[in-house]
Amino acid sequence: MPFALASAALPLLRLLDAETAHRLGLQGLRLGLAGRDRTPPDPRLAVSALGLTFSNPIGLAAGFDKNAEALAPLAGLGFGFVEAGTVTPRPQPGNPRPRLFRLEEDRAVINRMGFNNGGLDGYVPNLAAARARLHGKRVPIGANIGVNKDGAVPERDYPALVAAVAPQADYIVINVSSPNTPGLRSLQAAERLSPILAAIGRETPRHPPLLVKIAPDLNEAELPGIVEACAGGGVAGIVVSNTTTARPPGLRSPNAPQAGGLSGAPLFGPSTVMLARVAKLARGRLVLVGVGGIMSGRDVLAKLRAGASLVQLYTGFALHGPALIPRLKAELLAALAEDGFATAEAAIGAGLKE
């Protein structure tokens, strides 16, 4: 079993606080202790989007590897693409610990990390090294960018971030939706987002495909303006969605009242509803990435049917470990066949017509 060692380590890591376990997990990945998925790619899962080819639509979301330290080993676990960050122009420590909490009973996580990262100076060389290692392996790399908590000037900082990561990234995600940096979520409003996109267009006109990551807590009335700002502002896609500040009824974990963004199974329903709304507004003009609560191949298929071309995991991967990825791909193939889809691409947006 390629992931036997990693699977055996999971119960031990859960004895530690969540952030310490995460750090040790990343170190294990860097050392190659998590194993590899040696299953040949199945062409039925291949997706073409953003001018790129993905061997499967299942990617790793930003937040897991903030400093791009373990992207090549993570890609070896069977992901179709991997995304590093969020990176800010300058290093910052983030919020005080504890700031990462497991909600085991709810298959969820709450974080209030606060964009803790080492800044661009360490991130870009790590991104370049990962890109070199993955050359020719059809595992695109995404760079997720954000602004510092203090001293940020979004119209200055986002273009500079795009320019810095563009040579080493296959696509770039503009994070304007983390709930853990004060004021950041206001930047996703159309009247704030449009000047940022215009500044990127002026300062860095040549760059990989840009995507904007939005929050699941947006009012439905705000979505049309945001979608139009993206469609008219040189954006290739939208990532739906970031973590939620809402606390759905029925959460059982004693950690549920913790402040921060909630991710995992409770986010699946709300994020998928928002995904479908964005897909209908976008009308095929934008590539959509579905994120939030994916725990099974059926969940992946639901996101595809709701309009996503690609999906991303964070919490499911953190809870279940590397063995989750080949399981998801096998379950997705079975779900596609059961629903009468010959390929993953054939399922994209199918649910919008129902």
pLDDT tens sequence across 147-172:
999 999 999 999 999 999 999 999 99
Calculate mean pLDDT across residues 14-32.
91
pLDDT in tens, 193-214: 999 999 999 999 999 999 999 9
The per-residue pLDDT for range 205-245, each reduced to its tens digit, is 999 999 999 999 999 999 999 999 999 999 999 999 999 99
Fold classification of 39-353 (topology level): TIM Barrel (3.20.20)
Annotated domain spans of the chain: 39-353
Mean pLDDT of the chain: 95
Question: Please, which pLDDT band fits residue 15 given cuts at 50, 70 and 90?
Answer: confident
* Catalytic (active site) residue 178: yes
Q: Which of 21-30, 78-87, 112-121 has the lowest mean pLDDT?
A: 21-30
- Judged by phi (left if over 0) then psi (alpha if -120 to 50, else beta), residue 150 lies in beta
Beta bridge partners of 51: none
Taking residues 307-322, what's their average pLDDT?
Answer: 96
Task: State residue 136's pLDDT score.
Answer: 73
Of the candidates 7, 48, 55, 178, the residue annotated as catalytic is 178
Confidence of residue 13 (pLDDT cuts 50, 70, 90): confident
